Amino acid sequence: MLFNLEKSAAKTIRKLLKPFEVSVLYYSYKIPGLPFSHIQRYSYVNVYMKWKKDSYYESIEHIHHSIQLKPVIALKNCITQDPNGCIPISAVSKRGLQLDVPMKVARFMRQYPSIYEEFTGPEYNHPWFRLTSEAAEIDRDEKRVYEESREELRSRLRKMILMTKENVLPLKIIQGMQWYLGLPNDFLQHPEQNLDESFRFVEMEDGLKGLAIESGEKVYSIMEKNAMKRATDVIEFPFFPSKALRMKSKIENWLHEFQKLPYISPYEDFSNLDPNSDIAEKRLIGALHELLSLFIDHSAERRKLFCLKKYFGFPQKVHRAFERHPHMFYMSFRNKTCTVILKEAYCNESAIEKHPLLSVRKKYIKLMKESEVILRNRRMENRFSSCSEKLTLESN
């Protein structure tokens, strides 16, 4: 009997508290140093939207072939850096981990006969490799783009560093992000021609060497530039909901209020923001939007972005930002990894400027796909030749 009374009392309490479960409480606080004095802060709304696969983003070739393309270009650079324009397999066979090659280097290079041409070396009959004429032509085009776009590549690196808390990044972090920014591998090895006076090398904590920026110039984000083109002061995030993605009414209401919050540029000081507030979340979303807009294909592996948390001031659970805003970011799980894609770059091409190196990478991917045809034809030829030999033996 006592148990039944306790059970009924618990039900009554739950009914009384139910109206307050999804309520939104308002209160204001001041943030000094920002262009606004009072901001409405909202209590956390548990936004969860089930992930939906979108065939459009899953079929973008230059994003999903990027994992194979990176070691292909790394090996190509090893060949072009040699004075003779060719290398023995022994020169790279033990550098597979360094070059991100997922298998034995010789086997990997033989998978792309449209890029690497194999021949027998002058000594010990070792296999040697050189570039095919088509790959050599794309390599010359790539070097020309690097030469013509040096200032733009420098600007993208500068913006990335200016988004950090102290305007400085460790060199090892920059080297890890060079592939996404489109910087050549030896970019930091030639500072006199690739960097200007606003960059300087510094010593960081833990004995790390870093690259810092000294610039008082005002930097505008891509969101701010687009607002200037529209001649408006209102900056709202563009929404591109995926097919069959339905939002609950409370989530729609939260997004509506979220859009009303002031936009904070990722290049502004954010140390005075309450990390648990909606305004801090909006600043985080703006920073991720700006960061992905700097990359070649406006996407990146999620685990690579996690490495930036300490220096960009991202929260520990930054991955929830992608889950709470699927109308801005798409997560693809191809290639046994999670790749975050900025939707705006593929739904509104005029909103974000294309990277100058994107067309070159597309050429490499097209050439990589030709290797499949070459290997298929080789298998067919071997099959026919083996059959003809067998018929000859039987006839004899």
pLDDT in tens, 15-74: 554 444 433 333 333 334 444 434 445 445 566 667 888 999 999 999 999 999 999 999
Residue for token pair 């690097």: 146
Separation of alpha carbons 56 and 242, rounded Å? 10
pLDDT in tens, 99-125: 999 999 999 999 999 999 999 887 778
pLDDT in tens, 197-256: 999 999 998 889 999 998 778 899 999 999 998 888 888 898 888 776 666 777 778 888
**Cα separation values, 247 from 28, 75, 157, 234, 378, Å:** 28, 46, 37, 24, 52
Position 2 scores a pLDDT of 40
Task: Give exposure, 95-120, as e/b (b: 16+ Cβ within 10 Å).
Answer: ebeebebeeebbebbbebbbbbbeee
Separation of alpha carbons 177 and 160, rounded Å? 10
Q: Is the pLDDT of residue 12 over 70?
A: no
Please check whether residue 174 is in contact with residue 186, taking contact to mean a CB–CB distance below 8 angstroms: no
Please check whether residue 198 is in contact with residue 161, taking contact to mean a CB–CB distance below 8 angstroms: no
Residue for token pair 């409480």: 25
Q: What is the mean pLDDT of residues 314-324?
A: 89
pLDDT in tens, 268-308: 988 888 888 889 999 999 999 999 999 999 999 999 999 99
Please state, for a pLDDT cut of 90, what percent of the chain lies above it: 62
Position 382 scores a pLDDT of 74
Q: What is the pTM of this model?
A: 0.83
Position 33 scores a pLDDT of 42
Residue for token pair 């095919």: 132
Write the burial class of residue 28 (CB in 10 Å: 0-12 exposed, 13-18 middle, 19+ buried).
exposed
Residue 236 DSSP symbol: -
Residue for token pair 């592996």: 301
DSSP string, 292-331: HHHSSSSEEEHHHHHTTHHHHT--TTTHHHHHH-TTTEEE
Q: How many CB atoms lie within 10 A of CB 203?
A: 8
